[in-house]
Structure 1
Amino acid sequence: MRQPRTRHTTRRFRRRAAAAAVALAAVLGAGGWAADAQQPVTGPPPGSAAWVADTTPGLRPPDPGTASPAEVAAFFAGLPPARQDALAVRHPLVVGNLDGAPVRLRYRANALALAGERGRELARAADPALTPQDRTAARERAERYRTLLDGGRQILAFDPRGRGQVAEVHGDLATARRTAVVVPGSDIDLGSFDRPADPYGTPDGMARALYEATGRQTAVIAWAGYTTPLGLGPDAATETLARAGAQRLARLLDGLAVSTAPTAPATVFCHSYGSVVCGLAAPGPQQASGVVVLGSPGMGVGSAAELDPRVPVWATARNGSDWIGNVPNVSVLGLGHGADPTGPGFGARPLPATGSHGHTGYFAPGTASLAAFAAVAQGLAADR
Structure 2
Amino acid sequence: MRRFTRTLAAAAMTATMVAGTAGWASGNTQHAVTGPPPGSASWRADGVLGRELPDPAHTTPRQVAAFFRALSATEQQQLLERHPSVVGNLDGAPLELRYRANAQALRASHDPRYAGLAASGRQILAFDPRGRGQVAEVFGDLRTARHVSVVVPGSDIDAGTFDRDGDVYGTPAGMAKSLYAGTGEGSAVIAWAGYTTPVGVGLDAATGGLAEAGAKRLTRFTAGLAADGLPAPVVFCHSYGSVVCGLAAARLGATDLVVLGSPGMRADDVSGLHTTARVWAAKDDTDWIDDVPNVQVAGIGHGADPADEKFGARRVPAEDAEGHTGYFAPGTDSLRAFTAIADGVSR
Q: What is residue 117 of structure 2 aligned with on the other side?
A: 148
What RMSD, in angstroms, separates the aligned Cα atoms of the two structures? 1.7
The 2-side partners of 1:211 and 1:24 are apart by 35
8 Å CA contact 1:171–1:216 kept in 2: the answer is: no
Structure 2 match to 1:5: none
Contact 1:115–1:145 under 8 Å retained in 2: no
Q: Which has the larger radius of gyration?
A: 1
Q: Does structure 1 residue 31 correspond to structure 2 residue 24?
A: yes
Q: Report the more deviating stretch, 338-347 or 216-225.
A: 216-225
- 2:43 paired residue number: 51
Deviation at 1:15, TM superposition (A): 5.4
Question: How far, CA to CA, are the matches of 2:314 and 2:325 in structure 1?
Answer: 21
Amino acid across the alignment from 2:286: S
Given the superposition, is the C-alpha separation of residues 359 and 19 from structure 1 closer, same or farther in structure 2, using an over 3 Å criterion?
closer
Post-superposition shift, 1:254? Answer: 0.3
Structure 1 gap segments, 5+ residues each: 1-7, 119-140
Equivalent residue in structure 1 for 2:86, among 73, 94, 101: 94
Tell whether the 8 Å contact from 2:17 to 2:201 is kept in structure 1 after alignment: no
> SS state of the match for residue 268, structure 1?
strand
Matches within 5 A, 1:16-165: 16-27=7-18, 31-34=24-27, 36-118=28-110, 141-142=111-112, 144-165=113-134
Partner of 1:273: 240
Shift of 1:152: 1.2
Q: Which amino acid aligns with 2:235?
A: V
Return the offset for 1:311.
1.1
Q: Match of 2:219?
A: 250
Letter in 2 for 1:19: A
Partners of 1:205 and 1:259 in 2: CA distance: 26
Local SS of the residue matching 1:288 = coil
1:240 corresponds, among 184, 209, 215, to 209
| Whole-angstrom CA distance in 1 between matches of 2:226 and 2:91 | 10
Query: What residue in structure 2 maps to residue 312 of structure 1?
Result: 278
Does 1:322 pair with 2:287?
yes
Match of 2:262 in 1: 296
Equivalent pair of 2:87/2:101 in contact (CA under 8 Å): yes
Structure 1 length normalisation: TM-score?
0.86
Residues in 2 aligned to 1:22 and 1:54: alpha-carbon distance in whole angstroms = 52
Q: Which has the higher contact order (CA 8 A, sep 6+)?
A: 2
Q: How many residue pairs were aligned?
A: 344
Measured in 1, the distance between the counterparts of 2:257 and 2:207 equals: 21
Residue type at the aligned position of 2:12:
A
Q: Deviations over 1:234-269 (max 9, x none)?
A: 11000010000000000001000011333xx00000
Matched residue, 1:199 = 168
User: Residue 20 of structure 1 aligns to which amino acid in structure 2?
Assistant: A
Q: Find 1:371's aligned residue among 336, 341, 345.
A: 336
Q: Deviations over 1:84-134 (max 9, x none)?
A: 01101100000000000000000010011111123xxxxxxxxxxxxxxxx
Q: Does 1:347 align with 2:316?
A: no
Q: Normalized per residue, which structure has more helix?
A: 1
CA distance in 2, matches of 1:205, 1:296: 18
Deviation of 1:23 (Å): 2.5
Distance in 2, Cα, partners of 1:217 & 1:368: 22
Say if 2:114 and 2:159, in contact at 8 Å, map to a contact too. no
Contact 2:162/2:193, CA 8 A, preserved across alignment: yes
* Secondary structure of the structure 2 residue equivalent to 1:345: helix
> For residues 180-233 of structure 1, what are the alpha-carbon distances to aligned partners after superposition, in whole Å with 9 as ceiling and x for unaligned?
000000000011000111111100010001111003531100000000000021
User: Residue 120 of structure 2: SS of its match in structure 1?
Assistant: helix
SS in structure 2 opposite 1:152? coil
Q: Corresponding residue for 2:153?
A: 184
C-alpha distance after superposition, 1:295-320 (max 9, x if no partner): 1100111111111341111011x212
Query: How far apart, CA to CA, are the structure 2 residues paired with 1:381 and 1:368?
Result: 14
> Which residue identity lines up with residue 257 of structure 2 in the other structure?
V
Amino acid at match of 2:249: A
Q: Secondary structure at the match of 2:237?
A: strand
Shift of 1:14: 5.3
In 2: Cα distance, 1:283 partner to 1:80 partner: 36
